[in-house]
């Protein structure tokens, strides 16, 4: 039975614009419908908050926040939000409609995916999250249900309903908001989330794509939460033997229980994902996983929930002791690679080892030099160097940068190397890799007061303090010049961690009331608009309109609209009304004659002679068959006595 028939919204016209055609999905806070925008004639998705929640200001604010946040993320892998509004008890978002399925649907149907397919999905997901992170937002509810895969293969991230600004306070009193299977330990323990919480959830999603199952499971959300806090996410190869070590390392990096060990944001994790892909062979990328059924539908731990945050006594800090270890590569079969000679390589390795031992014992000059010197170099001095300079020194020494970790320092400037692994001076094989530890500056920085400075200078000052210039919005101001900063969020003087985003509100200058210039001569209209402080452009070509030829038919900013000084108004010039044929209505009754003329595009005036009681048309002001301007008035006259 089609349950949409029982839905009161299906078949209705919401807000006089959106025709609700079918119900797509039902969630804990909203229902999603397929709808038609009757104004623009396009299919879209309507996300309608459950009426019972529409009276809760917190949920309504979250709904509106989703619309505003995503509206600023013009990214091909983010589901676009077109509109937000309300009608009675229905609060809604009008969103891009993606014909296809969710990643959850794929996992239920197919189970584990090949590594290539998993990375093909992961990378656009990270690109979308990275755009949000660099714009100053955290998703906070990353899971397969929120990954849409279109019929055309496009991957998009949806449901930014729990989004928060990166630097804003996200903790709640005694509760956690999210989906337990994908919550980072710090979300559970402290109720806080930054970009690294999305990184953790993305790592869990990758594990699930590679294995067909979640890394932590239990009979209750509490059991899953306990595992997040006290158990590392296992390597995917433990569930699917033969998966490449690079995939294990990628999952381990993203899901480290200590957030300081994870990549800082989705952009950094995307870089790691691309490096891992480059290290894999085609055979490793296309390894066929074993059959897996995935999770049963509608599990409680798949849903976004509000969960009491209660931790066992003495178990609140266990995840701080976790270590990131790269699992060893899978053992090679004794017969060598497929397609080879089939001979065992073990005796040859044993012979090489024995020969090297003999060379060492006998001190054979060339061999000893090669083993003790030619193969090795020393890590150059790196401390106090900028990251770029340190990378250059390593390259000159024939060494690569394995990864760059960041740590707080109250004494060393941001961007300066404070350590390495191995340490400077240590002996290391040539062509090996070194991990750099770079200062993030002090653990807490003060947001500078940039009120009154120009936007470019405000961004420079924020970056100098180690903060990230976030979303920029503009509003009118009678007191500040255009492009001048009005305020920031957080405000100047607030304390934040380095790399936190700071939203900026910039002045558009004093508002200008746009005058109505339709029907005016083009040059007169131009002068009037320019006198008001606006720029004028004239659209190419002319259009038919009721206005006289050569006058303004329409303007891009309507009368009464407030614009900023210097904004552009585009004028479209009239070529006069369209001439159309006039129907012959003589001999017809008044109602029929009126209908014929109005349907043809004319206004109608009825003239009844004095003491005339006839409703039959005797004459018309423009004869039938002649032409008259569209919209002009035709007078029809009834028969007299």
**0.75 exceeded by pTM:** no
**Does 205 share its domain with 288?**
yes
Which CATH number fits the domain that encloses residue 189? 1.10.510.10
What was the pLDDT predicted at 155? 94
Mean pLDDT comparison of 176-180, 301-305, 338-342, highest-scoring range:
176-180
Most confident of the ranges 181-185, 326-330, 426-430, 449-453: 449-453
Tell me if 34 sits within 8 A of 21, measured CB to CB.
Answer: yes
Task: Tell me what pLDDT residue 163 has.
Answer: 52
Asked whether residue 327 is domain-assigned, the answer is: no
Cβ neighbour number for residue 52 with a 10 Å cutoff: 10
Whether the per-residue pLDDT at 233 is higher than 70: the answer is yes
Q: Is the dihedral of CA 531, 532, 533, 539 positive or negative?
A: negative
**Within a domain: residue 191?**
yes
Q: Kindly tell me if the per-residue pLDDT of 168 is higher than 60.
A: no
- Please tell me whether residues 423 and 488 are part of one structural domain: no
Handedness of CA 52, 58, 64, 69 (dihedral sign): negative
pLDDT value of position 130: 92
The band of 209, judged by pLDDT with boundaries at 50, 70 and 90, is very high
- Torsion, Cα 484 485 486 487, to 10 degrees, reads 180
* Cβ atoms of residues 37 and 17 within 8 Å: yes
Shared domain check, 289 and 155: yes
- 350 has pLDDT over 70: no
- Among residues 15, 141, 198, 258, which one is catalytic? 141
Same domain, yes or no: 302 and 417: no
Neighbour-count burial of 340, counting CB atoms closer than 10 A to its CB (0-12 exposed, 13-18 middle, 19+ buried): exposed
Least confident of 92-96, 173-177, 219-223, 389-393: 173-177
The H-or-E segment that residue 470 falls in is strand 468-475
**DSSP SS3 for 465:** coil
pLDDT in tens, 619-640: 999 999 999 988 889 999 988 6
Confidence check: pLDDT of 73 > 90: no
In the 8-state DSSP scheme, what is residue 476?
-
Q: Are residues 144 and 250 in the same domain?
A: yes
Tell me what pLDDT residue 291 has: 59
- Whether residues 126 and 12 share a domain: the answer is no
Residues 43 and 150 in one domain: no
For residue 330, being part of any structural domain is answered with: no
Residue 360 lies in a domain: no
Q: DSSP secondary-structure letter at 287?
A: P
Residue 7 annotated among the catalytic residues of the structure = no
| Rounded mean pLDDT, 205-225 | 89
Mean pLDDT value of segment 524-550: 91
Report residue 509's pLDDT band, with 50, 70 and 90 as the boundaries: confident
Contact 472, 443 (CB under 8 A): no
Candidates 231, 226, 185, 235; CA nearest to 207 is 235
Cα separation, 532 vs 535, whole angstroms: 9
Stretch 26-50: mean pLDDT, rounded? 89
Regarding whether 608 and 484 lie in a shared domain, the answer is: no
pLDDT band at 529 (very low <50, low <70, confident <90, very high): very high
Domain limits for position 13: 3-96
How many separate domains does the chain show?
6
Please determine, for residue 31, whether its predicted confidence score (pLDDT) is greater than 80.
Answer: yes
Q: Which residue has the higher pLDDT, 393 or 610?
A: 393
pLDDT-derived band at 202, boundaries 50, 70, 90: very high
Among 543, 574, 605, which residue terminates a domain?
Answer: 574
- What sign does the CA torsion over 552, 557, 562, 568 have? negative
Tell me the average pLDDT across 83-95.
87
Of 574, 603, 625, the one marking the end of a domain is 574
Q: Which has the higher per-residue pLDDT, 257 or 332?
A: 257
Same domain membership, residue 209 and residue 64: no
CA distance 245 to 115: 12
Model confidence at 53, in pLDDT bands (50, 70, 90)?
A: confident
383 within 8 A of 424, measured Cβ to Cβ: yes
Instruction: Look at residue 361 and tell me if it is in a domain.
Output: no
Q: Determine the Cα–Cα distance for residues 152 and 154; give it in Å rounded to an integer.
A: 6
Mean pLDDT of 276-302: 70
Tokens of 638: 């009834």
Q: Evaluate whether residue 380 is within a structural domain.
A: yes
pLDDT in tens, 371-381: 334 467 888 88
Same domain? 609 vs 473? no
Range 25-47 average pLDDT: 89
Task: Give me the pLDDT at residue 302, please.
Answer: 52
Q: Summarize the confidence of residues 602-620 as an average pLDDT.
A: 86
Q: Is the pLDDT of residue 121 over 90?
A: yes
DSSP 76: T
Q: Tell me which residue of 28, 33, 61 sits closest to 45, measured CA to CA.
A: 33
CA dihedral 326, 332, 338, 343 (to 10 degrees): 150
Higher pLDDT, 54 or 274: 274
- Residue 236's nearest CA partner among 119, 103, 146 is 119
The pLDDT assigned to 56 comes to 74
Q: List pLDDT tens digits, range 247-286.
A: 999 999 999 999 999 999 999 999 999 999 999 999 999 9
As a whole number, mean pLDDT of residues 469-489 equals: 90
Cβ count near 294 (within 10 Å): 20
pLDDT of residue 408: 82
Together in a domain, 13 and 49: yes
Among candidates 151, 40, 161, which has minimal Cα distance to 91?
Answer: 161
- Residue 169 is predicted with a pLDDT of 36
619, 517, 522, 526: which is closest to 573 by C-alpha? Answer: 522
Contact 228/188 with Cβ under 8 angstroms?
Answer: yes
pLDDT, averaged across the chain: 80
Is the domain of 548 the same as that of 471?
A: no
For 26-67, the DSSP string reads E-SSEEEEEEEETTTTEEEEEEEE-GGGTT-HHHHHHHHHHH
Cis check: omega of the bond before 490, within 30 degrees of 0: yes
- The residue assigned the tokens 């209505």 is 585
CATH (domain of 489): 3.30.10.20
């Amino acid at each position: 039975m089609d349950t949409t028939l029982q839905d009161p919204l299906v078949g209705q016209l919401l807000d006089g614009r959106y025709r609700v055609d079918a119900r797509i999905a039902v969630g804990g806070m909203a229902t999603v419908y397929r709808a038609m925008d009757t104004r623009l004639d396009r299919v879209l998705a309507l996300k309608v908050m459950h009426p019972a929640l529409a009276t809760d200001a917190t949920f309504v604010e979250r709904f509106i926040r989703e619309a505003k946040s995503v509206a600023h993320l013009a990214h091909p892998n983010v589901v676009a939000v077109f509109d937000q509004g309300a009608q009675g008890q229905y609060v809604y978002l009008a969103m891009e409609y993606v014909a296809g399925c969710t990643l959850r649907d794929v996992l239920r149907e197919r189970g584990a995916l090949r590594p290539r397919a998993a990375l093909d999905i992961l990378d656009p997901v990270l690109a979308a999250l990275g755009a949000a992170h660099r714009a100053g937002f955290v998703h906070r509810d990353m899971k397969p249900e929120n990954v849409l895969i279109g019929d055309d293969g496009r991957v998009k991230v949806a449901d930014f309903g729990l989004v928060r600004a990166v630097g804003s306070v996200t903790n709640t009193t005694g509760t956690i908001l999210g989906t337990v299977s994908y919550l980072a330990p710090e979300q559970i323990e402290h109720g806080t989330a930054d970009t690294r919480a999305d990184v953790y959830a993305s790592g869990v999603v990758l594990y699930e794509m590679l294995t067909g199952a979640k890394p932590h499971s239990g009979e209750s959300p509490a059991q899953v939460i306990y595992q997040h806090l006290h158990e590392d996410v296992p390597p995917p190869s433990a569930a699917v033997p033969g998966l490449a070590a690079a995939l294990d390392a990628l999952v381990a990096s993203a899901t480290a229980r200590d957030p300081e060990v994870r990549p800082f944001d989705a952009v950094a994790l995307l870089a790691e994902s691309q490096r891992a892909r480059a290290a894999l062979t085609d055979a490793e990328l296309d390894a066929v996983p074993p059959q897996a059924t995935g999770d049963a539908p509608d599990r409680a731990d798949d849903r976004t929930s509000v969960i009491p945050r209660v931790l066992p006594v003495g178990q609140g800090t266990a995840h701080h002791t976790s270590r990131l270890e790269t699992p060893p590569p899978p053992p090679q079969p004794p017969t060598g690679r497929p397609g080879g000679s089939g001979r065992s390589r073990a005796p040859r390795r044993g012979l090489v080892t024995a020969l090297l031992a003999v060379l060492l014992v006998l001190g054979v000059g060339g061999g000893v030099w090669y083993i003790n010197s030619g193969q090795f170099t020393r890590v150059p001095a790196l401390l106090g160097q900028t990251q770029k300079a340190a990378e250059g020194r390593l390259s000159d020494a024939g060494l690569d940068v394995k990864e760059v970790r960041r740590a707080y320092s109250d004494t060393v400037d941001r961007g300066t190397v404070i350590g390495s692994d191995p340490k400077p001076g240590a002996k290391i094989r040539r062509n090996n890799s070194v991990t750099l530890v770079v200062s993030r500056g002090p653990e807490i920085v003060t947001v500078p007061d940039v009120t009154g400075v120009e936007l470019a200078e405000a961004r420079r000052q924020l970056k100098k303090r180690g903060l990230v210039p976030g979303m920029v919005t503009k509003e009118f101001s009678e007191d500040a010049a255009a492009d001048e900063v009005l305020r920031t969020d957080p405000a100047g003087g607030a304390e934040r961690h380095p790399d936190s985003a700071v939203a900026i509100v910039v002045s558009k200058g004093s508002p200008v009331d746009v005058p109505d210039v339709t029907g005016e001569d083009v040059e007169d209209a131009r002068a009037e608009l320019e006198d008001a402080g606006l720029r004028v452009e004239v659209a190419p070509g002319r259009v038919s309109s009721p206005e006289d030829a050569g006058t303004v038919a329409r303007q891009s900013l309507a009368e009464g609209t407030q614009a900023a000084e210097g904004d552009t108004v585009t004028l479209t010039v009239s070529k006069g009304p369209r001439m159309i044929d006039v129907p012959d209505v003589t001999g017809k009754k008044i109602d029929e004659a009126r209908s014929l003329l109005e349907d043809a595009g004319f206004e109608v005036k009825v003239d009844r002679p004095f003491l005339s009681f006839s409703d039959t048309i005797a004459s018309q002001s423009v004869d039938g068959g002649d032409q008259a301007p569209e919209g002009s008035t035709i007078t029809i006259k009834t028969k007299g006595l």
